Amino acid sequence: MDGQVRATQRLEAGAVAIAALVAVVTLYPDWWWVPFAAFLAFDLSMVGYARSTAAGATTYNAVHNYAFAALAALAALILEPVSGDLSTTAGVLACAWAFHVGVDRALGYGLKLPDSFMSTHLGQIGGKAERP
């Protein structure tokens, strides 16, 4: 992947992480701490690596994407008229999830490729940065 494209994707992910924090502090101020407390919980998805790199990539990628954070945010909107508590839970989960994925991607931990834990869609973890 081109160095400029990688840098752009990492900056974009950092912006998502910041937006998720701003959202949780603004919309759910009593729950600002949840994205930090739950941060490592999303990495339990690495359990698939105990079986194989392909299984690990599948379980990791299933959790480390923005789709489920977006679905949780949608659930928060849908649940608001029905149950404020369920809506808050879904909204805080959405913020925590987007924060985790955004931070991971900003740090260069992209979606995993099945050949190795170190291979991601953003390039090799810990590899030399390409010059644009």
Cα 44 to its chain centre, rounded Å, is: 13
- pLDDT category at 128 given cuts 50, 70, 90 is low
Helices (H), 28-83: 34-37, 53-63, 66-79
Residue type for position 82: V
Which residue(s) pair with 124 in the sheet?
119
pLDDT tens per residue across span 10-34: 999 999 999 999 999 999 999 999 9
How would you classify the pairing of strands 123-124 and 116-120?
antiparallel
pLDDT tens per residue across span 56-88: 999 999 999 999 999 999 999 999 999 999 999
pLDDT of the residue at 120: 82
Domain locations along the chain: 3-124
